[in-house]
């Protein structure tokens, strides 16, 4: 089955693309999809504990089973709104490497 | 943002836009005679981050999901707090220093609930809505550190021992 994958924020830069589609076996889960991307996105594995996933615009767990035509998005910690908040206090960031300009 | 009616007659409370946000337009569209308080929060672009001078910011979003999340937040605020109406507008694209990236307006009979709802809205938005900002400095650009997702949102790590399914 074919699913669409969307990448945002630093993941988009690391993968070199924002939009992708992937063929998976029937019954594959979000975790299976993520495993596929491990080789395409540097440091993906280490950043997984911080990332969230959405399936068809709803937050989903890695165990979620996918079906053909689903839209899966890999979401780094969000930074909408304004100001610095967490980032001013954080000592290290999973995503600080960005485009190599820390 | 002006208040829009959808075909189902349900008012929209949230908007994403690339144009500069005009808080007065939003306030004017929300206020009614029964309101005793209007609380307005504007998030604005700061001129520096950790000592580095910011040239400008760029906001991007998973737009379809961000809009749904913002609407859901607005609905939750209306349920949780004794307020009459709310509006949330987030800007996308390039923003210069001093510009408004997010606007929250809350109207209610009394100010206590309006302040609480407004605070809750911005605090929750910053942790859950799929919007990301990239900061452009003189010597490069970096995606801003994001807020950790709240516990209720599952992480991508399959081995994570979350307390929520």
**Predicted TM-score (pTM) of this structure:** 0.87
DSSP per residue over A75-99, as a string?
EPPP--SSS-THHHH-S--TTTTTT
pLDDT, residue B3, reads: 52
Six-digit token string for B46: 């700061």
Q: Which region holds residue B132: left if phi is over 0, alpha if psi is between -120 and 50, else beta?
A: beta
Q: Is residue B47 part of a domain?
A: yes
Q: Which residues constitute the domain of residue B102?
A: 14-139
Q: Is residue A39 part of a domain?
A: yes
Q: Is residue B160 part of a domain?
A: no
User: Residue A87 is nearest to which of B130, B144, B158, comparing CB atoms?
Assistant: B144
Instruction: Please give the average per-residue pLDDT across A38-57, as a whole number.
Output: 89
Give the residue among A11, A76, A60 at the shortest CA–CA distance from A37.
Answer: A11
Q: Is residue A73 part of a domain?
A: yes
Residues of B in contact with A61 (CB under 8 A): 154, 162, 165
CB pairs under 8 A between A and B: 159
Question: Which residue, chain included where needed, has tokens 């599952």?
Answer: B154
Is the model more confident about A74 or about A88? Answer: A74
Q: How far apart are CA A36 and CA A56, in angstroms?
A: 19
Which residue from A minimizes the CA distance to B165? A61
Subunit contact B102:A82, Cβ cutoff 8 A: yes
Q: Which residues constitute the domain of residue A16?
A: 2-89
Q: Is residue A95 part of a domain?
A: no
* B84-123 per-position pLDDT tens digit: 999 999 999 999 999 999 999 999 999 999 999 999 999 9
Return the percentage of chain B with pLDDT > 90, whole number. 81
Q: Centre a 10 Å sphere on the Cβ of residue B6 and count the other Cβ atoms it contains.
A: 8
Subunit contact A87:B59, Cβ cutoff 8 A: no
Give the residue among B145, B141, B150 at the shortest CA–CA distance from B58.
Answer: B141
- The minimum CA-CA distance between A70 and chain B, rounded to whole Å, is 14
User: Residue A49 is nearest to which of B144, B147, B157, comparing CB atoms?
Assistant: B157
Count of the separate structural domains present in chain B: 1
Count of the separate structural domains present in chain A: 1
Q: Is residue B144 part of a domain?
A: no
Instruction: Please give the average per-residue pLDDT across A64-85, as a whole number.
Output: 91
pLDDT, residue A84, reads: 58
User: Residue A61 is nearest to which of B59, B146, B165, comparing CB atoms?
Assistant: B165
Q: Is residue A96 part of a domain?
A: no
Question: Looking at this predicted complex, what is its ipTM?
Answer: 0.87
pLDDT, residue A83, reads: 67
Question: Which residue, chain included where needed, has tokens 């709803």?
Answer: A58
Tell me which of A17-26, A35-44, B69-78 is least confident. A35-44
Subunit contact A79:B132, Cβ cutoff 8 A: yes
As a whole number, the mean pLDDT across chain A is 84
CATH number for the domain that contains residue B96: 3.90.1170.40
pLDDT at residue B165 is higher than 50:
no
Q: Is residue B8 part of a domain?
A: no
Give the residue among A8, A32, A5, A50 at the shortest CA–CA distance from B157.
Answer: A50
Q: Is residue A81 part of a domain?
A: yes
Subunit contact B156:A74, Cβ cutoff 8 A: yes
pLDDT, residue B18, reads: 98
pLDDT at residue A4 is higher than 50:
yes
Q: Is residue B58 part of a domain?
A: yes
Q: Is residue B9 part of a domain?
A: no
Q: Is residue A101 part of a domain?
A: no
CA atoms within 13 A on the CB side of B95: 31
Angle among Cα B66, A60, B76 to the nearest 5 degrees reads 50
């Amino acid at each position: 089955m074919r699913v669409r994958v969307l990448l945002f924020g630093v993941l988009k830069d690391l993968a070199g693309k924002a939009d992708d589609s992937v063929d998976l076996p029937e019954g594959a889960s979000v975790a299976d999809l993520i495993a596929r991307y491990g080789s395409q996105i540097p440091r993906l594995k280490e950043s997984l504990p911080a990332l969230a996933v959405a399936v068809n615009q709803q937050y989903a767990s890695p165990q979620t089973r996918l079906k053909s035509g689903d839209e899966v998005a890999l979401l780094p910690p969000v930074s909408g709104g304004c100001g610095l908040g967490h980032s001013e206090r954080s000592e290290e960031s999973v995503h600080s490497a960005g485009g190599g300009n820390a | 943002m002006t208040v829009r009616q959808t075909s189902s007659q349900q008012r929209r409370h949230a908007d994403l836009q690339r144009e500069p946000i005009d808080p007065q337009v939003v306030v004017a569209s929300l206020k009614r005679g029964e309101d005793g308080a209007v609380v307005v929060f504007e998030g604005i672009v700061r001129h520096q981050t950790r000592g580095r001078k910011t040239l400008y910011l760029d906001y991007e979003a998973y737009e379809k999901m961000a809009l749904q999340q913002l609407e859901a937040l607005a609905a939750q605020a209306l349920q949780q707090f004794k307020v009459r109406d709310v509006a949330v507008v987030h800007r996308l694209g390039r923003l210069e220093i001093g510009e408004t990236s997010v606007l929250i307006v809350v109207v209610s009979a009394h100010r206590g609930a309006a302040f609480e709802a407004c605070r809750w809205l911005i605090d929750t938005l910053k942790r859950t809505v799929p919007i990301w900002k990239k900061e452009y400095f003189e010597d490069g650009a970096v995606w801003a550190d994001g807020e950790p997702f709240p516990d209720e949102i599952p992480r991508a790590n399959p081995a994570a021992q979350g307390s929520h399914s």
